[in-house]
Amino acid sequence: MLKREDLSSENVDQIVADAHKAGYHFFLSSAERAASFKTAMARHQPGEELWVFAYGSLMWNPAIEFAEQQPCRVDGWRRSFCFWMPMGRGTPELPGLMLALEQGGACEGIAYRLEPHQVESELGLVWNREMLAGIYQPSWVATTLRDGRTVTALTFVVDTAHCQYCGDLPIERAAHHIAFAEGRRGACRDYLANTAAHARALHIHDPYLEELVERVAGLRDGAYVVPTVQADGEAVGEA
């Protein structure tokens, strides 16, 4: 589980340095993260509260302080395992897959409300976490809270031009990576399991997550035979 101290600028800068040494130059420097933060916050009025929409690990391991949380729905975007992650919950030999929002459909998750005095400190931690590899584009989305309110929330959608993007990946191959990829942050399957379990606890029914949970369970039991793939996502043989 991530802790607040894990998201300090010093710790994140070390991860970026390690990634650059390993040849992953798409990881963002502190200056690049700061620039993206400034751009995204141009439409936020200082002194006002801010909502953050969470759809993945931010739901079950936010590692930030907030004033309120509400189950919610965002239309026009769907939850998708759509980018490779060769570090964290994977390796260059067997990269993990991480969630992002892709256009189309709808997504239910959690909206966190940050009070004005929390915005800079807490969103700064979120930025160090979510903007680490530059795969996300910060976006403001209309969000319907379960209690009926409608707010505008900041969230993170996939950059389809990023070199790690792998949209429209067949679900069999996605399940294989999720089932077996592991890295220094743990197993990719645990990321899926925690997200699905938290969605259920919030009475969110997500058939996409549930199908992946079922397929991953089958793979771990040896019930499926799927292609093995290398870090760029190309098939290199069959198990």
Amino acid at 228: T
Query: Greatest CA separation found in the chain?
Result: 56
Q: Does residue 171 belong to any structural domain of this protein?
A: no
Determine the structural domain holding residue 108 and report its residue range: 4-166
Residue 221: its pLDDT value, please? 86
Q: What is the pLDDT of residues 85-120, one digit of tens each?
A: 999 899 999 999 999 999 999 999 999 999 999 999
Cα(204)–Cα(187) distance, rounded to whole angstroms? 23
Q: Does residue 144 belong to any structural domain of this protein?
A: yes
Secondary structure class of 7 (helix, strand, coil): helix
Conformation bin of residue 63: beta by default, left when phi > 0, alpha when psi is -120 to 50: left
Using pLDDT thresholds of 50, 70 and 90, give the confidence band for residue 1.
confident
Catalytic residue flag (residue 65) = no
CA end-to-end distance (rounded Å), the chain: 32
Secondary structure class of 89 (helix, strand, coil): coil
Q: Does residue 22 belong to any structural domain of this protein?
A: yes
**Any bridge partners for residue 129, and if so which?**
none
Q: Nearest CA to 42 among 136, 150, 140? A: 140
Q: Nearest CA to 162 among 89, 84, 93, 54? A: 84
Catalytic residue (one of 102, 120, 130, 234) = 130
67, 118 Cβ separation under 8 angstroms? yes
pTM, two decimals, is 0.90
Q: Does residue 40 belong to any structural domain of this protein?
A: yes
Q: How many domains does the chain have?
A: 1
**Does position 156 have pLDDT exceeding 50, yes or no?**
yes
Q: Does residue 87 belong to any structural domain of this protein?
A: yes
Q: Does residue 238 belong to any structural domain of this protein?
A: no
**Does position 234 have pLDDT exceeding 70, yes or no?**
no
**C-alpha dihedral (189, 194, 200, 202), degrees to nearest 10:** -150
Cα(8)–Cα(224) distance, rounded to whole angstroms? 41
| CATH code, 153 | 3.10.490.10
Q: What is the pLDDT of residues 69-85, one digit of tens each?
A: 999 999 999 999 999 99
What's CA 182's distance to the chain center, in Å?
16
Note every long-range contact of 45-51, with CB atoms under 8 Å and residues 24 or more positions apart, other chains counting: 46/116, 47/116, 48/116, 49/113, 49/114, 49/115, 49/116, 49/119, 50/113, 50/114, 50/119, 50/123, 50/154, 51/111, 51/112, 51/113, 51/114, 51/143, 51/151, 51/152, 51/153, 51/154
Secondary structure class of 96 (helix, strand, coil): strand
Q: Nearest CA to 130 among 227, 206, 33? A: 33
Residue 223: its pLDDT value, please? 57
Q: Does residue 175 belong to any structural domain of this protein?
A: no
Q: Does residue 43 belong to any structural domain of this protein?
A: yes
Q: What is the pLDDT of residues 19-69, one digit of tens each?
A: 999 999 999 999 999 999 999 999 999 999 999 999 999 999 999 999 999
